[in-house]
Every structure is written in C-alpha cells, then in structure tokens.
Amino acid sequence: METQSSGREIPIDVLMDIFSRVPAKSIARSRCVSKFWDSILCHPDFTDLFLTMSSIRQPLLFFTLEDNGKLFFFSSPHPQNPPDENTSLVPTCYHVHHNHSPTDFSSEVSSPLRGFVCSRDMGSLDTMVICNPVTGESVSLPKVGLKSVNTETRPYLGYDPIDKQLKVLCIKFDDIPHTCDEHQVLTLENGKHLWRTIQCKPHYPKSDGICIDGTLYYTAGFDMRISVSMIVCFDVRSEKFSFINIDESMLMTASCTLINYKGKLGALQFSFLPPKRLEFWVLQDAQKYIWSKDIYTLPPFWNNEVKRTELAIVGMTAGGEVVLTPYCLVDAFYVYYFNLECKSLTRVRVQGFEMFKRTRVYTSLDYVENLKLM
C-alpha cells in the first residue's frame, strides 16, 4: 500500500503554533510521544513562542503553599467577569519543590516572573533557589556573602526586555542601621550563575517587587519600622539604583502592595484610620514625583464578611477589581474581588486545598507558564 504521509507532513512551524495553544501539562505528556515531537517541544524557538502565547492569554492566578518542608505550586484562570459566588476554582497542581533546610524552617517566596519563582529558606539566609513549577526544575544559586550573623537577605526577580535577561537581585540589610551598602546581582540566562557586587545606600526592603518595562520596584525604609520612606527603582539592564521619595502625607506602610496600573506604577493599601478605606495611588510623573490618589470606602458588610480573616492585597485585575486573599489557609480558602466602581465584594472558593491546614499561602495574579529549561 502506497503511503502518502511524506507529502502530507505538517510543517514544523504549524506544529509549533498548534502546541503553543495547549496547556503546559499537555506539552510534558506530548514530549513522550516520539523523539521527533520531543525535539520540537524542547527547541528554544518553541519555548519562546509558548511563553509569548502564555503572556498574551489572560495571566493566571498562582498559589504557592508551604507544608512540611515542601513548596506546592498551583495555578488557575480567573473566574468569569464579574465573579459569581456560585463559582469555584479548581487549580492545576504543578511539580513540588522540596526545601533543603530542615522542615522546621519556613521559606520566603518571591512573586513569580516570566514563569520562574525565587525562594529562600529562612534557615539559610545566604542561599536562594530558582524554581520553574511547570518543568519541575530547581537550581540552587551560589551562597551570598553575609557580613555578620545579623545580616538578612531578600531576593527579587527582574527582567531586562532589551537583552532578554532574567536577573536575581539580593538585597542585604542589618539590624544595625547604615551598615549594609553592598548588595549582589546574578544573571540567570548566561548559565554561569555568579554573583556580582553592586553598591547602594543601606535600606530595609518592605514589600514584594514588581518589574515594569525593565525596572524593578519595591518599597523600603531607612529603618526596621513599618513605615515606608521611599520606593527603590532598580534598572535591571544597567544594574543601577534610583529612588522615588514618598510624601509624608501618603502614610505608606509595609502592607502596601505595588501594582502595574496600565504601565504605570501603582500602590494599594488599607487605611488604618477609621472608617476602614482602601487607598489607591498612581505615579503620574516619575520625574517630579507626582502621585494621584483615590480613596474608596469599604462597604458596611465588609467587616461581617472578612472580620475573622486577615487579607492581603494581591493586586488589581485588568478589569479594575482589587484581588485579596488570606495570608494563611485555616479552613476554606477564598479569593475576594472588590469592584471599585460599584463597591461590591465577591468571593470565589478555591477547591483542592483541603489537605493543607494552617499553611502559609503566597498568591500572585500575573503568572505565565514557561517551558524553558534551566
């Protein structure tokens, strides 16, 4: 029987386009079909295409749960807009990362960037680990030098869109003021994984970082108190620092969450002054430090709904809804959506976390799946 498959083979670029539209877990299974498929799906051109397509699609909710010395990674699409109380989310579970430190030490996990997560075992302040939840890979970075036993570290991920390089910034700070002015940065893309020392005035990081157009932002202060006195700007490409001063009238604290608001730096924070309010700042002019400010009074039923739950502001959706989740999983786990226009509060239950009890939960909004191997 004459075969005509040779004349009807699907072009490789068409196969890549088809596979770029399927979930990451299906790609992992497809690699096992044949050596030919494996060669296509592991090719750098395909991994770049898949990341691009993943970025174009609506970013995912991403959850990291820590339990018994392990980090569990989950993701889920956002619910339909507007969220429905009767809707529940069933997240996808990725590979599990095993901490290297004893199980009685917890981890500090950074916000994911371009599909990668940086974690630091609290029992080993000089060691960071980069994880790709989709591929299950993890790489332990070289130890950073600590000046004293009192020196602490905080890692951040930043991305340079020009040279297409992902970098880790390690900020060092000490309980003795003004003693840590040397920090370290490492490029992940070159494969050498060597720390470089950079200079910056001593400061105390207060928040997670957010990377916008090649600049990494995080809040900081001159001391260990909860107040924020500046926003640190780290140019990922040049590896230079600059600062945005905070007006004292803003009363920004360590609970403030930085967001990307239509390409501009934004900040969300609950007001500590009664009545409870949500404050929303947007940096309108970075050169002149001009901020706009809006205040939203929380609805009366807010206290009845979440009075027993300490909520963290995760960020804001493209539709303008503020997303909140509990810091810790106690009973059922919910994602809360606060609509700024109609001041409505909706909660959506996340299924599948019932096996975890009293577990720290890190939640992020803008996760994209990345198949790149480290």
Q: What are the sequence ranges of the domains in the chain?
A: 1-57, 58-367
Q: What's the pLDDT tens digit per position in 175-224? A: 777 777 889 999 987 677 889 999 998 899 999 999 999 999 999 988 77
CATH 3.40.605.10 fits 58-367, yes or no: no
Residue 265: its pLDDT value, please?
Answer: 94
Are 139 and 374 within 8 A, CB to CB?
yes
Q: What's the pLDDT tens digit per position in 345-367? A: 888 999 988 888 888 899 999 89
Q: What's the pLDDT tens digit per position in 110-122? A: 889 999 999 887 6
Residues 6+ apart with CB under 8 A from 97: 70, 71, 73, 119, 129, 131, 133, 138
DSSP string, 136-156: TEEEEPPPPP-SSTTEEEEEE
Lowest mean pLDDT among 64-78, 92-106, 240-254, 358-372: 92-106
Query: pLDDT-derived band of residue 21, with 50, 70 and 90 as boundaries?
Result: confident
Lowest mean pLDDT among 29-33, 213-217, 242-246: 29-33
* Mean pLDDT score, 278-289: 88
CA distance 260 to 323: 13
DSSP state of 59: P
SS3 24: helix
* Mean pLDDT score, 286-302: 82
Tell me which of 55 and 155 has the higher pLDDT. 155
Residue 305: its pLDDT value, please?
Answer: 62
The first and second tokens of residue 84, run together, are 């429905």
The first and second tokens of residue 293, run together, are 């400010």
Q: What's the pLDDT tens digit per position in 115-141? A: 999 988 766 777 889 999 998 888 889
SS3 120: strand
Residue 5: its pLDDT value, please?
Answer: 41
| Alpha-carbon distances of 237 from 13, 39, 52, 234, rounded to whole Å | 32, 32, 21, 9
Tell me which of 332 and 306 has the higher pLDDT. 332
Percentage, residues of the chain above pLDDT 90 = 34
Mean pLDDT of the chain: 84
> What is the residue whose two structure tokens read 């490029």?
187
Residue 40: its pLDDT value, please?
Answer: 85
